[in-house]
Structure 1
Amino acid sequence: MNIALIAHDRKKDDLVQFVTAYRYIFEKHSLFATGTTGQRIIEATGLQVHRFQSGPLGGDQEIGARIAKNEMDIVIFFRDPLTAQPHEPDVSALIRLADVYRVPIATNMGTAEVLIRGLERGDIDWREVIKNMRQ
């Protein structure tokens, strides 16, 4: 599965801790991340992560394009709902695309844990069926 990892500045530590805790699951999948978030995950875990631009420089849109091409299976996006983001329209567009293309998205640690444990159990395998239908 292809997993996108994104975190606003105040949530980067949380995402790094989350990926570290579930490294044994993440290492079995292809990881994609926005710039700084990806670098932090690489440094903390040693996992391979394809890095896009940082979010404000278009990384959210790059991941959104992958969602629209059915090339992303899960999005974990630790958002900071208490801080205004200059690229908020990009954030909203990314979430909208995940909904349109039926890509599971977690925007906080609680939902991310349910999603990643579901991935471990095989609950997300239906994404493979959708991919095959579109080809």
Structure 2
Amino acid sequence: MPKRIAIIAHDGKKGELVEWARRERERLARHQLVATATTGRTLQEALGLEVACVRSGPQGGDAQIAAMVVEGRIDAVIFLVDPLYAHPHEPDIRTVMRLCNVHNVPLATNLATASMVLRGLEEE
């Protein structure tokens, strides 16, 4: 059964995300993907995946995804955070992470965990 997966990646992680998504393309294509604007466009252009896009992270996209988590409309979040760079929208980043924990939604912040989450969703 297809799941709804939210994907967010900071600019410094988008290249890694695309490489990972190429390897996981077949699995990703089985699910409904939603992403922040730039991340979603990057995946659409690089892999031809269908991705529903919300606003960019700094313009409220992280908050939109957080709201979807609260509403039960997201089954997992892949949020590739660049830990070596300060982010002006840090409160929104923390909100997504906190709400995933509050609502028991799997959250991957690195590619190793993202692969495990993706495989785990297929077992449900």
For the pair shown, the structure with the greater C-alpha radius of gyration is 1
Number of residue-to-residue matches in the alignment:
122
TM-score by length of 1: 0.88
Q: Measure the CA separation in 2 of the matches of 1:107 and 1:83.
A: 15
State the partner residue of 1:106: 108
State the partner residue of 2:82: 80
- Residue from 44, 51, 76 that aligns with 2:53: 51
State the partner residue of 1:35: 37
Identical positions, percent: 48
TM-score by length of 2: 0.96
Cα-to-partner distance string for 1:60-116 (whole Å, 9 max, x where unaligned): 000001000000001001100110000000000000000001000000011112111
3-state secondary structure, aligned to 2:88: coil
State the partner residue of 1:61: 63
Structure 1 residue runs without a partner (length 5+): 126-135
Structure 2 residue runs without a partner (length 5+): none
- Residue from 88, 91, 96 that aligns with 1:89: 91
What RMSD in Å do the two structures reach over aligned CA positions?
0.8
Q: Measure the CA separation in 2 of the matches of 1:44 and 1:63.
A: 22
After superposing on structure 2, the runs of 4+ consecutive aligned residues of structure 1 that deviate more than 6 Å are none
3-state secondary structure, aligned to 1:110: helix
3-state secondary structure, aligned to 2:16: helix
